[in-house]
Amino acid sequence: MTQEAIWLSEQDISEQVALDEAINALESGLRSLGRGEGLNVPKALGGFDDGSSMHSLGSALPASGYCGYKNWINTKRGAKAVYVLFDAAQGQLLAIMEANALGQLRTSAMTGLGTRWIAPGTADDMAIIGSGRQALAQVAAVNAVRPLKRIRVWSPDSGHRHAFADQIRESFAVEVIESPTLAAATDAASLVTVITRARDPFLSAGLLAPGAHLNAVGAILPANAELHQDVFERVGFIAVDDIENARKGSRELIEHFDQNKQGGWDQVYSLGNIIAKGIKPPAGCDVSLFKSMGMGVSDLSVAIPAYERARQSGLGQSLKLSEGRVSLRWKSN
């Protein structure tokens, strides 16, 4: 019988998986990872030209029967990502997916999940720092797990700030404040999410309210940083999505633990372990920090329901796969 895989477009992914479903799917995947029932392949990263980069992330959840890789490129002129899903038991190609929507879902879902498990249960006042293409989904993810009463918006470009604030108002029935300064945005905010493309740190310890939870999402390249080192003087609980990727790629954590000779990597929790073991920040924690770098299981956890629902719905373009061996040509014509 001829083997077939399917091609899923960005629209297919968006139609099959909503953000709240992605958060729950990711929680299940990370719980399996925390129990030792999953595998992350460390990120492969290569930079070229001035700021362009190539990435690859893999993972397996054998009990679910799936494994896969996401590959993507970022350049000044554009970015593109694809996800390749395999049958982990039979070694068959199941699907190739456009993965920009998948990436936005898993990135925002990871923030939502970190907030669900780490942030104070009463937190309802959010500062969103950054107004790029992923910022709205970040707000939605936090609102899904901590219903918000107020959202403060700050971005250095006033035009972008105003447009993004309008986007939020159209999407959520909450008070939205366009903050004139970074300090005004974070003042007394119980939740702070930072998602920028900053090359150099700009968020200092004095800008964070006592008891605040901080999601640091934007700086995922070794050359980039959003947090000044004095932030760590107030952080009483640090969690990451994947410790190995953080040790390789987080400039902020590398500078704190390695270059400043602070040690302490053994005090950093993975979100999977937090979920699997029910770990909570200590009482009286001044600031809690969740640093998200990106990891394979997060993509796979969202790709699985996207694929299964697409199959059930008959969505996707069929891709016929070759079977058996082919003969190679030894010489050109």
Q: Mean pLDDT across the chain, nearest whole number?
A: 93
pLDDT band at 291 (very low <50, low <70, confident <90, very high): very high
Give the length of the chain: 333
Looking at residue 262, its pLDDT comes to 62
Position 261 scores a pLDDT of 63
Instruction: Encode pLDDT of 238-255 as tens digits.
Output: 999 999 889 988 999 999
170 φ/ψ angles, rounded to the nearest 5 degrees: -70, -25
pLDDT confidence of residue 1: 45
Cα separation of 31 and 24, whole Å? Answer: 11
Give the confidence band of 54 by pLDDT, cuts at 50, 70, 90.
very high
Going along the chain from its start, the domains and CATH numbers come out as 4-103+296-320 (3.30.1780.10), 110-291 (3.40.50.720)
Which residues is 195 bridged to in the sheet? none
Residue 326 has pLDDT above 50, yes or no: yes
Confidence of residue 2 (pLDDT cuts 50, 70, 90): low
pLDDT at 205 over 70: yes
DSSP 122: T
Mean pLDDT of the region 269-294: 95
Does residue 79 register a pLDDT over 70? yes
Whether the pLDDT of residue 44 is over 90: the answer is: no
State residue 258's pLDDT score.
Answer: 79
- Percent of the chain predicted with pLDDT > 90: 79
User: CA 244 to CA 268: how far, in whole Å?
Assistant: 11
Residue 294 has pLDDT above 70, yes or no: yes
pLDDT value at 66 more than 50: yes
Give the tens place of pLDDT for each residue, 131-173: 998 999 999 999 999 999 999 999 999 999 999 999 999 999 9
Provide the 3-class DSSP secondary structure of residue 106.
Answer: helix
Distance CA 54, CA 176 (A): 36
Residue-level pLDDT at 183: 97
What's the confidence (pLDDT) of residue 233?
93
| Cα distance between residue 310 and residue 17, in whole Å | 10
Rounded to whole angstroms, what are the CA distances from 41 to 69, 283, 295?
A: 9, 34, 8
% of the chain with per-residue pLDDT over 70: 98
Nearest to 303 by CA among 25, 62, 2, 1: 25
Structure tokens at 109: 């879902």
pTM comes to 0.90
Rounded to whole angstroms, the Cα distance separating 97 from 231 reads 39
